[in-house]
Amino acid sequence: MADRYLRFTGTAPGRFLTRRLGLPQPAALTRWSPGRPALDGGLLHLTAGRSGLDLAPVLARTGIGPAGSGRAAAVVLDATGVRDVEGLAEMHAALHPVLRPVAASGRVVVLGAPLDPADHHQAAAQQALEGFTRSLGKEIGRGRTVNLVRLTDATAAESTLRFLLSPKSAYVSGQVIEVGAPQETAPADRDRPLAGRTALVTGAARGIGEAVAETLARDGARVVVLDVPQAGQDARRVAERLGGTALLLDMTSADAAARIAETLPGGLDLLIHNAGITRDRRLVNMPAERWISVLEVNLASVLRTTDALLKDGTLKRGGRIVATASIAGIAGNAGQTNYAASKAGVVGLVRSLAPRALEEHGVTVNAVAPGFIETKMTAAVPLFIREAGRRMNSLAQGGLPADVAETTAWLAQPASGAVNGQVVRVCGQSLLGA
């Protein structure tokens, strides 16, 4: 369903009226398209504290050139060398004069260092970056986003910076992303980083799953579109359009993993757990079958198939697991105790499995946590609840399935091997749990 309020605020009368009434003024976001693959404008690189990072080669490969004398579309502040309160003052001095002219739908990325347990002054200063980043994201406006990346090696963050400094990250703001040691080299073709890889996307016949399958195929992956038999017609349509394969099965069935392995004798590179259901009702009114069905689809099937596909080697070394969580699992939501429990369980799975999966199988495990995304399901939500969902984030609008898909595709890249155990909210910096 179209966001009529967003359209209205883009008109001269709409801007005037909403400004006079103090209402939200969302800006139309610049998203990726073949004709607009990069931000409009240049990159401004700033430093606070004494940094040991050599960022120049990495920033040169992000697809956005130096700002020069023109208006900046993005600002990268290297604050990895900030170790005390005086360093935080340097950060203010660097950013204060340059933020106002940053272009609409622009990007601010702050680079921080891991907290040093042996130096509480450094830990305090670096933790301060999180409060700063999230607060700036809530006030910067005009469709601009602010994120914090913690890193120790600049080369390991290339894929993350390319994503955050592009139109692909339009609905990702207020996030803290930790980047570890380099695990993979950059792909030969950065426009098709998934070339030669096989991806399985569950729940891919429609909605967010369809958008994920489409984006992975755009990036070069051969996609297996998995959905329940009842969605067979839609699944086959999506697979045919993307040059992929449809696999019709119920992920809750005991033989789901075996059937996946049988369908993919050459193995699997990307396992995207997107399938999910809702059966909303307050707990006092929720029968056991509504509770069980949601936990079985959203969590138990994810656990079983992940374990089995890792154990039998179907998911190959260098592979990626990306699961779909939800801000409901982070902040909770009335009437969704079952759904929130299942999605919080996905977060727990990611945080526990990620280090072991990387060490034992060479596979990374991450999650995306969507907020209010414009789908057929949210279009059926009552008007006032739908409007609240759209406006209660820093960008004052709902996201699109493509926003979740772009974030998933970034985490799925070979060059994103240093990103592991992360739960990235795709919520426009929701005011709930953010």
Residue pLDDT, tens place only, 46-57: 999 999 999 999
User: Catalytic one among 132, 171, 291, 339?
Assistant: 339
Condensed to tens digits (0 to 9), the pLDDT of residues 176-218 reads: 999 998 877 778 788 899 999 999 999 999 999 999 999 999 9
Q: Which residue type sits at 46? A: L
Q: Which residue type sits at 227? A: D
What confidence category does residue 298 fall into, taking pLDDT thresholds of 50, 70 and 90? Answer: very high
Using an 8 Å Cβ cutoff, are 239 and 263 in contact?
Answer: no
* Structure tokens, 24: 């939200």
Condensed to tens digits (0 to 9), the pLDDT of residues 306-363 reads: 999 999 999 999 999 999 999 999 999 899 999 999 999 999 999 999 999 999 999 9
Q: Burial of 392 by CB count in 10 Å (0-12 exposed, 13-18 middle, 19+ buried)?
A: middle
Condensed to tens digits (0 to 9), the pLDDT of residues 397-427 reads: 999 999 999 999 999 999 999 999 999 999 9
Q: What is the pTM of this model?
A: 0.96
5 is catalytic: no
Q: Which residue type sits at 396? A: A
Q: Delineate the domains of the chain, giving CATH numbers in brackets.
A: 21-178 (3.40.50.720), 198-426 (3.40.50.720)
Condensed to tens digits (0 to 9), the pLDDT of residues 234-258 reads: 999 999 999 999 999 999 999 999 9
What confidence category does residue 1 fall into, taking pLDDT thresholds of 50, 70 and 90? Answer: low
